Amino acid sequence: MAHIYSKEVMDLFMNPKNMGEIENPSGLGKVGNPVCGDVMWIYLQVNEETDIIEDIKVKTFGCVAAIATSSKTTEMAKGKTVTEAYKITKKQVADDLGGLPKQKMHCSNLAVDALQRAIINYLEKTGRSVEEID
Ligand code: FES
């Protein structure tokens, strides 16, 4: 069955943002989607003085929705502190994309989960835990 995607989803699928890798990232998060078996990695470059995410890249083996949500999530996170970025929700990402087909909502979990894992990884590297920012 064909999925009906919003224009925002299709635009980001055609022109994905922040795709790639960061060498020696401040934080790295990887998640797999148990529903479809797709995988995503998010790389962060964080300024340790300010905790601001200065650069963010994503690599994904995923579907249209996974690509669009990872583009949107990275755009939302860039320039924010890790504390602010940790609070980005799946619903905010989906809403910002003009919604996702219901059977594709599981795909939107990947990007936010990978971002949170990358932030946790950054905090651990800097001797902190997520409880300190939550
Ligand atoms: S079908 Fe795998 S991420 Fe969407």
The count of other CB atoms within 10 Å of the CB of residue 33 is 19
Give the per-residue pLDDT at 2. 53
Does pTM surpass 0.85?
yes
Can you name the CATH fold of 7-132?
Sufe protein. Chain: A (3.90.1010)
pLDDT digits (tens, 9 = 90+) for 25-74: 999 999 998 888 999 999 999 999 999 999 999 999 989 999 999 999 99
| Rounded CA separation 120/83 (Å) | 10
| Best of 31, 36, 93, 113 for a ligand 1 pocket test (most atoms within 8 Å of beta carbon) | 36
Give the per-residue pLDDT at 104. 87
The structure tokens 């320039």 sit at 79
pLDDT-derived band at 107 (thresholds 50, 70, 90) equals: confident
What is the SS3 assignment for 19?
strand
State the first-to-last Cα distance of the chain, in angstroms, to the nearest integer: 40
Which residue among the candidates 36, 52, 105, 130 is catalytic per the annotation?
Answer: 36
Query: Beta-strand (E) ranges in 11-106?
Result: 27-32, 39-47, 52-61
pLDDT-derived band at 103 (thresholds 50, 70, 90) equals: confident
Q: Catalytic site residue 36?
A: yes
Q: Catalytic site residue 63?
A: no
On the question of pLDDT at 3 being above 70, the answer is no
User: Considering the chain, what percentage of its residues have pLDDT values greater than 70?
Assistant: 97
Is the torsion defined by CA of 129, 89, 79, 67 positive or negative?
positive
Residues 6+ apart with CB under 8 A from 96: 8, 72, 76
Give the per-residue pLDDT at 74. 97
